[in-house]
Amino acid sequence: MKQNKKPLYRKVNTRARGVSHKFGNDFKHTRSKKKETTEQVRGSMHGKTQRGLDYTPLFQFLISKVGKNWDEVHQEAVSRLDKPDPIFWVVALNQKDKKDFVRVGESTYFSGLYVDHSNTLQLTNPGLKAKNMIPFCECCTHTLNGKVFGTE
């Protein structure tokens, strides 16, 4: 019997305060124009942006799978996502694309990952910790892998 697992993304980030989810406000810029566009007359089949998707659970999942076979990790992640692109925001398949950390929001960072020659998922810089990092500004709460800079 196949067990359904939760998706690795959230529709809306409800944990953050003051986050703009960009709902609405598109029609207000077009409603008073004299000439109607084809999209106004016929309607659009799909939107131009995806709104309110938070891939934090994906990034935490990938970090928890460090040391595991990449093919198995990738297969499970893709099966639990809406699209596979966000995986490669933090995972580098080539040596030249490796990064110590990746910025995924205004003040949210995650450790960079890569696939080594033995097809194993690895941390790019295993010594990188939130306690060693310094925030770039005092107004925001900067985090690395969910931990506030300067702690733990």
- Residue pLDDT, tens place only, 65-115: 999 999 999 999 999 999 999 999 999 999 899 999 999 888 899 999 999
* pLDDT score recorded for residue 125: 95
Local confidence band at 139 (pLDDT 50, 70, 90 cut-offs): confident
Phi, psi at 127, each rounded to 5°: -85, -5
Local confidence band at 1 (pLDDT 50, 70, 90 cut-offs): very low
> Can you tell me the distance from the alpha carbon of 9 to that of 61, in angstroms, rounded to the nearest whole number?
10
pLDDT at 118 over 60: yes
Token pair in block for residue 38 = 């084809």
Centroid of chain to Cα 5: 19
How is the beta sheet containing 108-111 ordered, strand by strand? 101-103, 108-111, 143-144, 147-148
- Residue pLDDT, tens place only, 11-61: 765 556 665 555 555 555 655 555 666 655 555 555 555 556 889 999 999
> Can you tell me the distance from the alpha carbon of 150 to that of 111, in angstroms, rounded to the nearest whole number?
15
